[in-house]
């Protein structure tokens, strides 16, 4: 498996992977509800993927296995993990772990003190098993039960 920085020409394939992963692997989160799924996919557009790839300080990484795209991960200069998705056929094959380890290494290289994210129900156990902790006091009156706010100190 190879992990590499995404390029602008990767945007369409990366976007297709993210949308497929959400649709097929995150059923515990959207429960097949069209409106919930539509809301989750709303910012998963080609324009946004291109912006994530090209924005200074934003990092998008791709996992490739046997010459094909297997996963996409991304984080912002503020330390927010914004994407971590794999193809259905690559689930439980170490792709997510490899992507997250690469993201954490790159974030440390950028001297970020921590990474934060909102985890889907589907991915909560994955992140908790890798040292992410529930971010206390992160909720507000507008919070929903759609995800769990997590953080990991990188020191």
Residue with tokens 């020191």: 155
pLDDT at res. 33: 83
The mean pLDDT of 6-30, rounded to a whole number, is 93
132, 113, 78, 65 alpha-carbon torsion, rounded to 10°: -60
**pLDDT (mean) for 39-62:** 94
Across the range 118-145, mean pLDDT stands at 78
Q: Other CB atoms closer than 10 Å to residue 15's CB: what's the count?
A: 19
State the pLDDT confidence band at 30, using cuts at 50, 70 and 90: confident
What is the per-residue pLDDT for 146?
59
Mean pLDDT of 3-12: 98
- The total of structural domains in the chain comes to 1
Question: Tokens representing 137?
Answer: 């006091």
Sheet with 114-119, side-by-side order of all strands: 114-119, 148-153, 133-134
SS3 content of the chain, % helix, strand, coil (to 5): 40, 25, 35
Global confidence as pTM: 0.89
Average pLDDT of the chain, as a whole number: 91
Q: Is 60 in contact with 74 (CB distance < 8 Å)?
A: yes
Residue 121 is part of which domain span? 2-153
Q: What is the pLDDT of residue 137?
A: 59
Give 56-112 pLDDT, tens digit per residue. 999 999 999 999 999 999 999 999 999 999 999 999 999 999 999 999 999 999 999
Domain CATH number, residue 89: 3.40.630.30
């Amino acid at each position: 498996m190879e992990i590499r920085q995404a390029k602008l020409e990767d945007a369409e394939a990366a976007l297709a992977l993210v949308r497929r992963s959400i649709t097929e692997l995150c059923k515990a989160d959207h429960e097949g509800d069209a409106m919930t799924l539509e809301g989750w996919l709303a910012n998963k557009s080609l324009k946004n993927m291109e912006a994530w790839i090209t924005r200074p300080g934003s990092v998008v990484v791709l996992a490739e296995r046997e010459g094909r795209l297997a996963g996409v991960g991304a984080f912002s200069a503020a330390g927010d993990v914004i994407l971590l998705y794999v193809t259905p056929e690559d689930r439980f094959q170490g792709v997510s772990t490899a992507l997250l380890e690469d993201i954490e290494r790159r974030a440390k290289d950028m001297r970020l003190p921590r990474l934060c994210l909102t985890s889907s129900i589907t991915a909560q156990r994955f992140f908790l098993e890798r040292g992410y902790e529930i971010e206390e006091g992160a909720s507000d009156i507008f919070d929903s039960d759609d995800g769990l706010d997590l953080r990991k100190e990188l020191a």
